[in-house]
Structure 1
Amino acid sequence: MTTQTTSGSCCSSDGSCGSGAAAEAQDTGITTVYKVSGMTCGHCEGAVSQEISALEGVTAVTAVAKTGEVTVASATPLDEEAVRAAVDEAGYELVGRA
């Protein structure tokens, strides 16, 4: 599975969205795909990415509004309730794992 990482600020001039906290995924890390409802644009992707990127252990986040999927790479398994709280803080709803 290919994981796209983002860098820079939300909705940069090159069309990528995300937070500066995202880093390259490590080959030994864990990748989890979540379904999030309510994302409609690049700003939404950036808001969700920023909140999830702040969670301890997260190494990369890619949010795609079109599919509602958020791919999260982490060094260790994440607590789903912590992910849910981060998505809620961004103003969206975590549906569950995709």
Structure 2
Amino acid sequence: MTVDYQPQVHPDLEGRVVEISFTRSDFTDEPIPVLVISNSDGLHRVSAFHASLRQQLALVNPEVGCRLGIRYVGKRKLRNHWRAEFHAYHVAKAA
């Protein structure tokens, strides 16, 4: 059984990418990456609806079979904008 990654509950996720697909969103024209990550806790579905997670994934370019670590670091303020916030992530791919 695959469970959805809930970054506000469990901010850290690490494991092997076993599937990559894409879905759509009503909020952007960009394709939304959906990764399934396997670790000792089971299968976790990561849907990159947050723009910063999509950007981080694009930087590391994950592939099926690679080890990937995702950390949700919380909401951050946008520079030069006193009200706007975004959800920040760090993503790393093992060599």
How does the TM-score come out when normalised to structure 2?
0.30
- Higher helix residue share: 1
TM-score, normalised to structure 1, is 0.29
